Amino acid sequence: MKISVIGTGYVGLVTGTCLAETGNEVLCVDIDEKKVARMRQGEVPIYEPHLDVLFDRNIEAGRLNFTTSLEEGLTHGDIIFLALPTPEDEDGSADLSYVLNVSEEIGKKIKEYKVIVDKSTVPVGTAEKVQAVIAKNASCEFDVVSNPEFLREGFAVDDFLKPERIVIGSSSERATTLMKKLYNPFVRSGNPILIMDEKSAELTKYAANSFLATKITFMNEIANYCEKVGADVDKVRVGMGTDSRIGKRFLFPGIGYGGSCFPKDVKALQKAGKDENYDFKILDAVIEINDTQKTALIPKITTHFKADLSGKKIAIWGLAFKPETDDIREAPSIYMMNALLEKGAELTVFDPEAMPNIKEKFGDTLTYATSMYEATKGADALVICTEWSIFRTPNYSKLKELLVHPVIFDGRNLYNTEDMKSEGFTYVSIGRKDVN
């Protein structure tokens, strides 16, 4: 099939590449000329595990191409995916301007039947809006489908190739048939393609992300309470998670959720509720708790240093909002670092993939290390913000030699408290007893 993908970010590039992998002819469109030039030269512009292999293979086979011309994209694809940004607007709602502006152009430019697929995360009613905007100018038939994306950054290729489910919101049989044909190769193991109305599809995405953000936040509250009463959140977590109604996943406490999705999607659902005179009280609490949680280590750090952080050298491990990505959007590390800098600390940072993005944002205010150990050299303490695998089993003796004081503040509970005690560290984590 001939597919166009408008917007070649984390979702669009993975979508385009994986659809090419099943034999489709894919044309990816992006407004960012530099990005398109890099992709044309065979460079993957984001870090996403395993994407490079598929990317190279499909470019070589001539099935994956890139352009800055929307017109070319709209001519090429029978199915046109919109994988455009829907960032947080000033009032918390999803900013639909990218989606609606491109839709306006679609209406003006399409000359034969097309299926327009909204893959961006958008509020209930957006498919209707897109339909209306295109219809204003369109001189041919078209259908609008809502097809929210559930991939996780860091596992995006795997998630796309083997999705747990595909959600298709459409009231058109013609479009649904095409969409099923496109997606059938990805669900051969029997996972479902769920067909529903557009509004339900749109809400499914917000409901899923808000539920996951709530699950994390609930555990963060339990962790904070554990600290008050001397319980160990790791034990509580395992005790809870073995109940199959709860499940083991997404129960790890830490310094809050971040990223390009959860924060904005929870806020967008909260705002969409308000617009209908419905108060999502649970989401109000989730947002408030997460805001505090992002800097949950700060009071612990200031207590340790007796309120004076000026001139203290602090090493930071982990800058991306989660492991296996270079994405720093709404990363808790940013909030942590800003709070530490404000208190006069000097920060030397390390992340396996996110350093260029952080450098762009922080410039000279940080010192950038070339390895995790280099970051700790001469530091008064180490702060861990992201749970990259390489941080999980460090060389403790080396760390103790490099740090001026063997002090670790761990926002992701990477280490066993007993081990840290026997290794001689002062170790402060989330929801567990401090080791002094």
Q: Residues interacting with ligand NAD, by CB under 6 A?
A: 6-12, 29-32, 35, 83-86, 98, 102, 120-121, 149, 151, 153, 260-261
* Angle, CA of 118, 123 and 128, to the nearest 5°: 60
Minimum CB–partner distance for residue 181 and ligand NAD (Å): 23
- Cβ distance 256 to 385 under 8 Å? no
Burial class (CB in 10 A: 0-12, 13-18, 19+), 307: exposed
CA dist list (Å): 160 to 124, 186, 245, 407: 23, 8, 26, 41
- Compare residues 32 and 72 and give the one whose CB is closer to ligand NAD: 32
User: What six digits make up the tokens of 333?
Assistant: 């590390």
- What is the nearest approach in angstroms of ligand NAD to the Cβ of residue 209? 8
Would you call 286 exposed, middle or buried from its count of C-beta atoms within 10 A (0-12, 13-18, 19+)?
buried
Question: By Cβ distance, which residue is nearest to ligand NAD?
Answer: 9
Nearer to ligand NAD, 117 or 408 (CB): 117
> 3-state SS of 347-382?
EEEECCCCHHHHHHHHHHHCEECCCHHHHHCCCCEE
- Please report which helix (H) or strand (E) contains residue 115, including its range: strand 114-118
Residue 26 Cβ, how far from ligand NAD at the closest point, in Å? 15
Nearer to ligand NAD, 128 or 232 (CB): 128
- Residue 82: CB minimum distance to ligand NAD, A: 8
Name the catalytic one among 18, 28, 226, 261: 261
Q: Which neighbouring-strand residues pair with 348? A: 315, 367
- Nearest distance in Å: CB 429, ligand NAD: 27
The DSSP secondary-structure symbol of 87 reads P
**Which residue lies nearer to ligand NAD by CB, 200 or 367?**
200
Smallest gap from Cβ 118 to ligand NAD, in A, equals 9
Q: Give 3-state DSSP helix, strand, coil % of the chain, rounded to 5.
A: 45, 15, 40
Chain center to CA of 321: 7
Task: Please give the C-alpha separations between residue 381 and each of 153, 325, 386, in angstroms, as whole numbers.
Answer: 30, 25, 16
d(CA 325, CA 328): 8
Q: Closest distance between ligand NAD and the C-beta of residue 169, in Å?
A: 15
Q: Do residues 15 and 183 make contact, with C-beta atoms less than 8 angstroms apart?
A: no
Smallest gap from Cβ 359 to ligand NAD, in A, equals: 18
Rounded Cα–Cα distance for residues 403 and 221 (Å): 31
Distance of alpha carbon 255 from alpha carbon 414, whole angstroms: 12
Whether 261 is a known active-site residue: answer yes
Which lies closer to ligand NAD via its Cβ, residue 125 or residue 241?
125
Kindly state the smallest distance separating residue 27's Cβ from ligand NAD, in Å.
12
- CB nearer to ligand NAD: pick between 123 and 431: 123
CB closer to ligand NAD out of 14 and 297: 14
Element (H, E) at 384: strand 381-384
For ligand NAD, the closer of residues 12 and 394 by Cβ is: 12
User: Is the separation of the CB atoms in 263 and 328 below 8 Å?
Assistant: no
Structure tokens at 93: 């709602």
List beta partners, residue 4.
Answer: 27, 80
Of 263 and 394, the one with the shorter C-beta distance to ligand NAD is 263
> CA-CA distance, 406 to 399, in Å (whole number)?
8
The Cα–Cα gap between 120 and 330 comes to 18
**Which residues carry out catalysis?**
261
